[in-house]
């Protein structure tokens, strides 16, 4: 069961408080019924308030604009041929106070709703045990919102009381005080929440394990920051390792096969700790079949997919490069757009670092082939139409006629091939030296085969927290403590899992797992960051990992020449939305982050 917004709670929010225009818009509405703040003190109100915040996660996770902020302009990705031109990929100097305005408002609206739940919830009449769990949900979600805000913007306003009167003043709290509040909320939530998912908040909502995970990550993040406390890395290591040791209690674990973490049947399985639900029922959002995007629409599967339909039977694959404009030179399209191969947005392509460093080892490490789609099976009819007839002749290339559903039309082996190999292959081979913003391997982790049409958005949940990260948090924390033995231990658990191949014998799998092990002497910060990429490539999060570890500028300089010529030291924080700054009309002005 998925969690959705059950009621529309009309309250004065911080987003409204910081914007006279948006506040007026709310006040001018003529709702059919008025829901007063005290409604949050009823069983339906407290449940609906929490569900409403979960619903709002959908307006960020899975949507193109939000996901872009998490992966663009890092070491992992270059701009694809159809990348949005807002400065995040390669110029950085295009980012301004209007770039992140929508996200700020959503998080603060949710924070105020949660403050209302925490204020009025105790008077709801719910049984003590149930109330405790509901308040734990509210505290976890408030901490989750503030974690995003403080790691994105730095010092931000800190509100822990329910606001019912509009104001035109506000101040940014210290980063230290925001972290203190997050840690307090997560500490409470880690005991108040149920050990495993419990009605009515089903699907993959917050539990004790989710709260412990975020608590460990918060200590880890603060430990790297300018407001670090002496025991931060110790706390992060202890909490993460304890969570892993007690995974059975919480019903969480790693799948034996890395690919199973992304199998559609396992979207709500043991490795997913927190997800943002999506649905094609318009009661829960603005889902539109064939739409290009929109609030709450999950287009994550499309972002890292090249436009495979542009490859034609006349494409020359025995030269050093594939033509940038693939439809020139005649020929018939070798593929048509279908559900299995997905809708191509071509927003981002892997950087060379991904192939030469992250996935350089592919004999024992299976994650490359489980991350990328590298084969496209012919699906066109003899006339190039869109009705696949399995076994029928398809397009003809200079090397032979492809058979629908049988022959490979396009193959990206991930290594260079000889001219002789190309001559024997009826389709087109694209090798790493030929990758471009137009042609590149596709990330397949998020494919949704339940869609009805090739252009439909996905209704798969967006996994926000995956249990595998707990091992990397533990490894990173132990590394910062100078304990490389334990750091290697937790890295090796993840790496040994990456070696598992169900097609191999147990003897070969054991041998491959041992080959993946590293020694304590091999543990460095860069190795840990490479391991994050191997495990989480294109699960949008890379900007946060690099900022947390104070590695953004250094790694961009190493691996992203597109962005390196423009990135500045202040880019480790995002700009405060300008419309929020303009709305401060009383008291001291709220300062913008330096550089913007």
What is the pLDDT tens value at each position of the chain, 596 positions in all? 354 433 333 333 333 333 332 332 322 333 333 457 888 999 999 999 999 999 999 889 999 989 998 999 999 999 999 987 656 776 576 677 777 777 898 999 999 999 999 999 999 999 999 999 999 999 999 999 999 999 999 999 999 999 988 889 999 999 999 999 999 999 999 999 999 999 999 999 999 999 999 999 999 999 999 999 999 999 999 999 999 999 999 999 999 999 999 999 999 999 999 999 988 877 667 788 888 766 678 999 999 999 999 998 887 665 545 654 565 556 788 899 999 999 999 999 999 999 999 999 999 999 999 999 999 999 987 665 666 788 888 888 889 999 999 999 999 999 999 989 999 999 999 999 999 999 999 999 999 999 999 999 999 999 999 999 999 999 999 999 999 999 999 999 999 999 999 999 999 999 999 999 999 999 999 999 999 999 999 999 999 999 999 999 999 999 999 899 889 999 999 999 999 999 999 999 999 999 98
- Give pLDDT, residue 385: 60
Cβ atoms 37, 88 nearer than 8 A: no
pLDDT, residue 167, reads 86
Contact (CB, 8 A) for 80 and 302: no
- The pLDDT, as a whole number, for residue 22 is 30
What is the distance between the alpha carbons of residues 80 and 305, in angstroms, rounded to a whole number? 9
Q: 3-class secondary structure for 347-402?
A: CEEECHHHHHHHCCCCCCCCHHHHHEECEEECCCCCCCCCCCCCCCEEEEECCEEE
Least Cα distance to 57 among 135, 133, 4, 7 occurs for: 4
What's the sign of the alpha-carbon dihedral 58, 64, 69, 72? positive
Is 452 exposed, middle or buried, given 0-12, 13-18 or 19+ CB atoms closer than 10 A? Answer: exposed
What per-residue confidence (pLDDT) applies to 29?
Answer: 32
Which pLDDT does position 383 carry in this prediction? 61
Peptide bond before residue 537 is cis, with ω within 30 degrees of 0 = no
CB atoms inside a 10 Å sphere around CB 451: 20
- What integer pLDDT is reported at residue 175 of this predicted model? 98
pLDDT, position 23: 32
Q: What is the pLDDT at residue 113?
A: 95
CA–CA gap between residue 463 and residue 457 (Å, rounded): 16
**Distances from the Cα of 130 to the Cα of 47, 111, 135, 560, 574, angstroms:** 11, 21, 9, 50, 39
Give the pLDDT of residue 388. Answer: 74
Among candidate residues 200, 182, 229, 241, the one with its CA nearest the CA of residue 49? 200
* Stated pTM of the model: 0.92
Amino acid 328: pLDDT:
53
């Amino acid at each position: 069961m998925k969690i959705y917004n059950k009621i529309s709670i009309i309250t004065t929010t911080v987003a409204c408080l910081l914007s006279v225009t948006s506040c007026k818009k709310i006040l001018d509405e003529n709702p059919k019924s008025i829901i007063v703040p005290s409604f949050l003190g009823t069983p339906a109100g407290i449940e609906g308030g929490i569900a409403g915040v979960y619903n709002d996660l959908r307006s960020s996770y899975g949507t193109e604009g939000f996901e872009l902020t998490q992966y663009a302009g890092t070491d992992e990705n270059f701009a694809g041929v159809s990348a949005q031109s807002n400065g995040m990929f390669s110029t950085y100097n295009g980012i301004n106070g209007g770039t992140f305005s929508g996200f700020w408002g959503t998080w603060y609206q949710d924070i105020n709703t949660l403050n209302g739940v925490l204020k009025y919830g105790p008077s709801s009449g719910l049984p003590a045990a149930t109330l405790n769990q509901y308040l734990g949900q509210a505290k976890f979600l408030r901490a989750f919102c503030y974690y995003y805000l403080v790691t994105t913007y730095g010092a931000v306003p800190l509100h822990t009381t329910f606001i019912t009167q509009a104001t035109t003043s506000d101040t940014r709290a210290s980063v230290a005080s925001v972290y203190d509040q997050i840690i307090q909320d997560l500490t409470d939530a880690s005991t108040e929440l149920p050990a495993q998912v419990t009605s009515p908040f089903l699907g993959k909502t917050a539990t004790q394990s989710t709260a412990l995970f975020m608590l460990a990550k918060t200590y880890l993040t603060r430990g790297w920051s300018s407001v670090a406390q002496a025991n931060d890395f110790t706390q992060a290591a202890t909490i993460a390792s304890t969570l892993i040791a007690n995974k059975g209690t919480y019903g969480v674990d790693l799948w034996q096969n890395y690919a199973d973490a992304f199998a559609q049947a396992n979207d709500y399985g043991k490795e997913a700790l927190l997800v943002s639900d999506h649905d094609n029922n318009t009661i829960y959002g603005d889902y539109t079949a064939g739409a290009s995007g929109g609030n709450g629409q999950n287009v994550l599967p499309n972002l890292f997919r090249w436009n495979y339909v542009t490859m034609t039977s006349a494409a020359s694959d025995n030269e050093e490069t594939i033509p940038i404009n693939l439809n020139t030179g005649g020929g018939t399209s070798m593929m048509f757009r279908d559900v299995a191969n997905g809708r191509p947005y071509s927003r981002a392509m892997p950087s060379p670092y991904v192939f030469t460093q992250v996935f350089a080892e592919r004999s024992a490490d299976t994650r490359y082939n489980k991350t990328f789609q590298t084969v496209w099976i012919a699906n066109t009819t003899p006339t190039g139409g869109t009705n696949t007839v399995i076994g029928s002749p398809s397009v003809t290339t200079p090397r032979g006629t492809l058979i629908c559903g049988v022959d490979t039309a396009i193959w990206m082996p991930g290594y260079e091939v000889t001219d002789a190999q190309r001559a024997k292959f009826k389709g087109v081979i694209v090798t790493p030296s030929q990758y471009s913003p137009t042609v590149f391997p596709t990330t397949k982790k998020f494919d949704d085969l339940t869609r009805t049409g090739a252009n439909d958005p996905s209704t798969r949940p967006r996994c926000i927290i995956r249990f595998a990260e707990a091992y990397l948090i533990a490894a990173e924390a132990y590394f910062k403590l100078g304990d490389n033995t334990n750091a290697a231990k937790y890295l090796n658990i993840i790496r040994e899992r990456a070696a598992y191949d169900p097609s191999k014998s147990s003897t070969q799998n054991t041998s491959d797992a041992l080959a993946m092990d590293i020694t304590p002497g091999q543990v460095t910060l860069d190795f840990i960051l490479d391991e994050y990429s191997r495990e989480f490539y294109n699960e949008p999060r890379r900007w946060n990992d690099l900022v947390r570890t104070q590695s953004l500028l250094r790694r961009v300089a190493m691996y992203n020449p597109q962005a390196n010529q423009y990135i500045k030291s202040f880019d480790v924080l995002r700009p405060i939305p300008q419309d929020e700054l303009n709305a401060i009309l009383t008291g001291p002005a709220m300062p913008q982050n330096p550089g913007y």
